[in-house]
């Protein structure tokens, strides 16, 4: 007899419900959220090895899944939003009802948003990158706060860059800062602590990435992809075999555009921003390197930039970059420019402009070389105007 079980996990206690193949409840109860508690649950419910046990995503879902694996169970982590949407009584919520809904939905095979639970190596990599991102954010906050204080007393050039300890000390030695020096010193102390933490985490990251060193080195053959970007991509994907094609990777990372199609109407909005926000941010940072003329993806960036602007061009290149990195990982091959459908040659673009803004003291309407207007155009005194549109010929 096949048995199914659903859990509603909280930090102190866990409520469980077990069903048979016919949907009959054969066991329910409450245990502590601990290894001993789950051992007691399996014993009391009398479930056999290999039983599918469903639970929602949450802070402890990964840890609980590993405990259940140790008890020879088959944990299934389900996205919490889908559990709530497919509940029969969405406005009548209780711990027991939530556990029953998860168990019954698992038995009826209702859920499609099954969350990938990484192994310990990938989980360690994710945890280190998460803490590194946290402390880098704290560093940035101290720099921004220091710049605010300095500019509040009428200074500006003294805070051009605060990325090193020497730059902070040079700023604090400025006698024109007045009483804000005391507050700047506080921010400096916090900055030093976060700088030390980031340095320690970088050392840990080098150690944690060793099981994936070959893959990380291969991904770094793409211009603009460094150690942190490649590690973030590996941590987010975990196993490349989980995806059948590259567009699934783009969707998983939240880089795919949202859609609202109905009949003949087609609407595409902003990207979905699902999945790992850190991996998505790192890919967008790497995509900005495509703005340089010597980058192999520059033709893609330039075309998107001309049509939709800088930010959308960055996202467009990040989508392509995610596809490229996944394919390199799957095929175990280095970056190959010949597969980008671009021509590798040095060329100089030359554009002819027929219009420009008037210089100081210059009159508007004067015909010059190559001006398409008539030579006897009326002379109109130059006046301050709002920025217009620059007409450029191919």
Domain edge (last residue) among 156, 184, 208: 208
pLDDT of the residue at 158: 65
Contacts 24+ apart (CB under 8 A), 243-247: 243/326, 246/322, 246/323, 246/326, 246/327, 247/323
pLDDT of the residue at 118: 92
Q: At residue 26, what are phi and psi to the nearest 5 degrees?
A: -110, 0
CB 104 within 8 Å of CB 86? no
User: Total domain count for the chain?
Assistant: 4
CA distance 161 to 159: 5
In terms of Cβ atoms closer than 10 Å to its own Cβ (0-12, 13-18, 19+), residue 203 is: exposed
pLDDT of the residue at 389: 41
CB 84 within 8 Å of CB 210? no
Q: At residue 187, what are phi and psi to the nearest 5 degrees?
A: -65, -35
Instruction: For residue 112, tell me if it sits in a domain.
Output: no
Give the N- to C-terminal CA distance of the chain in Å, as an integer.
74
pLDDT of the residue at 344: 82
CB 172 within 8 Å of CB 185? yes
In terms of Cβ atoms closer than 10 Å to its own Cβ (0-12, 13-18, 19+), residue 152 is: exposed
Q: CA geometry: angle at 217 spanning 290 and 333, to 5°?
A: 80
301 and 319 in a common domain? yes
- Residue 81: which domain range? 4-107
CA distance 368 to 62: 71
In terms of Cβ atoms closer than 10 Å to its own Cβ (0-12, 13-18, 19+), residue 192 is: middle
Instruction: For residue 153, tell me if it sits in a domain.
Output: yes
283 and 181 in a common domain? no
Domain edge (last residue) among 72, 107, 142: 107
Intervals of the chain under pLDDT 70: 157-159, 365-394
**Encoding tokens for residue 132?**
């590194």
Task: State pLDDT tens for residues 100-143.
Answer: 999 999 999 999 989 999 999 999 999 999 999 999 999 999 99
Domain edge (last residue) among 208, 234, 266: 208
pLDDT of the residue at 354: 79
148 and 253 in a common domain? no
246 and 186 in a common domain? no
333 and 354 in a common domain? no
pLDDT of the residue at 391: 40
Instruction: For residue 164, tell me if it sits in a domain.
Output: yes
Instruction: For residue 114, tell me if it sits in a domain.
Output: no
pLDDT of the residue at 13: 95
pLDDT of the residue at 33: 95
């Amino acid at each position: 007899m096949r048995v199914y079980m659903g859990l509603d996990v909280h930090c102190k206690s866990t409520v469980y419900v077990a069903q048979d193949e016919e949907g009959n409840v054969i066991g329910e109860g409450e245990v502590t959220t601990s290894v001993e508690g789950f051992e007691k649950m399996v014993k009391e419910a009398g479930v056999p090895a290999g039983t599918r046990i469903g639970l929602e995503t949450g802070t402890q879902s990964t840890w609980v899944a590993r405990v259940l694996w140790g008890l020879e169970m088959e944990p299934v982590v389900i996205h919490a939003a889908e559990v709530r949407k497919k509940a029969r009584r969405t406005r009548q919520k209780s711990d027991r009802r939530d556990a029953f809904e998860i168990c019954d939905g698992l038995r009826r095979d209702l859920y499609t948003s099954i969350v990938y639970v990484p192994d310990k190596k990938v989980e360690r990599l994710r945890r280190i990158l998460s803490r590194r991102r946290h402390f880098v954010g704290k560093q940035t906050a101290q720099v921004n706060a220091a710049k605010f204080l300095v500019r509040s007393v009428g200074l500006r050039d003294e805070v051009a860059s605060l990325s090193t300890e020497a730059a902070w000390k040079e700023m604090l030695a400025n006698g024109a800062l007045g009483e804000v020096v005391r507050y700047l010193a506080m921010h400096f102390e916090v900055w030093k602590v976060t700088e030390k933490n980031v340095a320690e985490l970088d050392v840990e990251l080098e150690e944690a990435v060793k099981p994936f060193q070959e893959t990380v080195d291969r991904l770094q053959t793409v211009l603009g992809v460094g150690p942190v970007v490649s590690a973030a991509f590996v941590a987010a994907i975990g196993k490349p075999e989980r995806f059948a094609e590259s567009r699934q990777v783009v969707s998983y990372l939240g880089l795919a555009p949202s859609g609202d199609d109905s009949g003949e109407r087609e609407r595409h909005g902003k990207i979905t921003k699902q999945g790992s926000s850190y991996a998505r941010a790192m890919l967008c940072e790497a995509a900005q390197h495509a703005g340089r003329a010597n980058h192999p993806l520059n033709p893609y960036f330039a075309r998107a930039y001309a049509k939709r602007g800088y930010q959308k061009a960055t996202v467009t290149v990040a989508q392509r970059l995610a596809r490229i990195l996944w394919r390199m990982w799957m095929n175990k091959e280095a970056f190959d420019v010949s597969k980008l459908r671009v021509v590798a040659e040095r060329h100089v673009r030359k554009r002819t402009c027929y219009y420009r803004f008037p210089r100081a003291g210059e009159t508007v309407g004067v015909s010059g070389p190559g001006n398409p207007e008539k030579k006897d155009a009326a002379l109109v005194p130059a006046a301050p105007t709002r920025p217009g549109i620059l007409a450029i010929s191919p």
